[in-house]
Amino acid sequence: METSSSVARSKLYPDAASALAGIVRDGMLLAVGGFGLCGIPEALLAALKESGVRGLTIASNNAGVDNWGIGLLLATRQVRKMIASYVGENAEFERQFLCGELEVEFCPQGTLAERMRAGGAGIPGFYTRTGVGTVVAEGKEHKEFDGQTYILERGLVADLALVKAWKADTAGNLIYRRTARNFNPAAATSGRMTVAEAEIIVQPGELDPDQIHTPGIFVHRLVHNPNPEKRIEQVTIRDGNPSEAH
């Protein structure tokens, strides 16, 4: 007889490659969590690269950096289209875009987050003033509300969502940490299938229910990544002035 504890354990996979096995395919639409390099599912993205799938459309706040995060997949030409709000840190992205090798759909940051959230909530579309009068509005329905013009944006439902949590239990309940909470919760709910990686994994009942950001019902597979490589997207420092020391 299968118990509730055995069902919970079945979500935990031994590594990122096995967590993606059998569910990735060419031409998928993926929602990927993270903000810059913070909170990106680096182990799952590396495994996605090794899987060899191609023709991917990826919706994510940004495109990573050269040779890290989504940048790994750009380097191997596995991405056909990016839906993103910021791409300024990736030279290979720029090269492919300017050469016509990569299709790009720029989406305002808040609009992209809401598109993911709406998709996860079963909302097919919503109206927003963001982008009215710009190229973002081209080809989209316009509607007047209270004397203001809005454009219709579609909710985003991905074939697969890849997210990164700080802590999880084996039932798939997730807690994010600080900036990693920006896009990961919305991405997690927008996927028809969601795979998460977490730095810390505990048993069901060990997480405070009030602290859970993504309920386990949204998470289908889970992988433990206890020692992630945390890179800095752009190091910015200033010279210290001893006279200003306190």
Residue-wise pLDDT tens digits, 63-113: 888 888 899 999 999 999 999 998 877 889 999 999 999 999 999 999 999
Task: Tell whether 89 is covered by a domain.
Answer: yes
Query: Which of these, 171, 154, 183, 163, lies nearest to 207 by C-alpha position?
Result: 171
* pLDDT of 201 over the 50 cut: yes
Task: Tell whether 2 is covered by a domain.
Answer: no
User: Domain span at residue 221?
Assistant: 8-244
Q: How does strand 148-154 pair with strand 174-175?
A: unpaired
Lowest mean pLDDT among 130-134, 176-180, 235-239: 235-239
Question: How many domains is the chain built from?
Answer: 1
CATH number, domain at 50? 3.40.1080.10
Residue 125 dihedral angles phi and psi, to the nearest 5°: -170, 165
* pLDDT of 235 over the 80 cut: no
- The predicted structure's pLDDT at residue 10: 67
Task: Tell whether 133 is covered by a domain.
Answer: yes
Q: In whole numbers, what is the pLDDT of the chain averaged over residues?
A: 91
- The predicted structure's pLDDT at residue 241: 63
Mind listing the pLDDT tens digit for each residue in 13-51? Answer: 999 999 999 999 999 999 999 988 889 999 999 999 999
Query: Which of these, 24, 94, 41, 35, lies nearest to 62 by C-alpha position?
Result: 35
- Other CB atoms within a 10 A radius of the CB of residue 216 amount to 20
Rounded CA-CA distance 108/117 in Å is: 14
- The predicted structure's pLDDT at residue 237: 78
Q: What pTM, to 2 d.p., does this model score?
A: 0.89
Task: Tell whether 3 is covered by a domain.
Answer: no
Residue 25, C-beta contacts closer than 8 angstroms, at least 6 positions apart: 53
The maximal CA–CA distance of the chain, rounded, in angstroms, is 71
Q: What is the share, in percent, of the chain residues with pLDDT greater than 90?
A: 78
* pLDDT of 154 over the 60 cut: yes
